[in-house]
Amino acid sequence: MVVYDADSKIYHFGSKIWELSMTYYHRIHLVPVAWPYLQRLRDKFDQTVQLGILDGTEILYVAKVESSRPLQLVSHVGSRLPAYATGLGKALLATRDAKTLESEWKHVKYQRFTENTLSSFEDLLRNIAISREQGFAVDMGEYSADVRCLAYPILGFQNRGMGALSVSLPVEFFTPTLLNELSGELQHIGHLIATQVGSAEPDAWRKLPSLSLPVRANLL
């Protein structure tokens, strides 16, 4: 953070200050960079598209593009939801290393909102492992029972998770065919945004070390 110059006997800001400032710079520019891509996803699938950032143990919704379909979501720009119960949150948690996850999430109280809500730290770790394996996170009606959501993390400077984007749809639209098409486009858009906000490897989150828990089954 601070470097001492023995010759001049003067302290200078170190490289860590620059790294932190660049991280903040890219984060505040995420919404304007991502906005045209959110619209592109909405226009292609006519489903609601959202953008969120992780704030503590909650997802803060920072952008939303509405579908023409009558889908009722509890989220709106400025609202917060528990990260473990949302696709956006789980996508971003998948960018965290095992040590960080344990320190921040092992003792969290996992409130149940539907019968599908994750109820323990172990469940969260298994879900994250599946997300990394398949390349996207899924909300299987874990906050709103009749809504499904696919989400992808957006990496920024130094390949750190800085946000996530998601596509939400009614449960009756959640078919294997649409899932396959949605997941591919979601990853593609996520990569495009990530490269514009400073990531050198947008898929780096999938290469994080194993969380040392058995993966039970695919989320579908």
Q: Model confidence over 47-83: pLDDT tens digits? A: 999 999 999 999 999 999 998 876 667 788 889 999 9
Domain boundaries, the chain: 30-207
Local confidence band at 217 (pLDDT 50, 70, 90 cut-offs): very low
- 193 Cβ contact partners less than 8 Å away, ≥ 6 residues apart: 30, 33, 34, 37, 154, 165
pTM greater than 0.85 (yes/no): no
Q: Comparing C-alpha atoms, which of 116, 115, 130, 108 is closest to residue 58?
A: 108
* Sign (positive or negative) of CA dihedral 111, 115, 120, 125: negative
- Please check the confidence at residue 24 and state whether its pLDDT lies above 60: no
The fraction of the chain above a pLDDT of 70, given in percent, is 87
Q: Give the pLDDT mean for 11-22.
A: 61
Give SS3 for 148: strand
Domain 30-207: top CATH class: alpha beta
Q: What angle do CA 162, 165, 171 make, to 5 degrees?
A: 145
Output the average pLDDT for the chain. Answer: 87
pLDDT at res. 43? 94
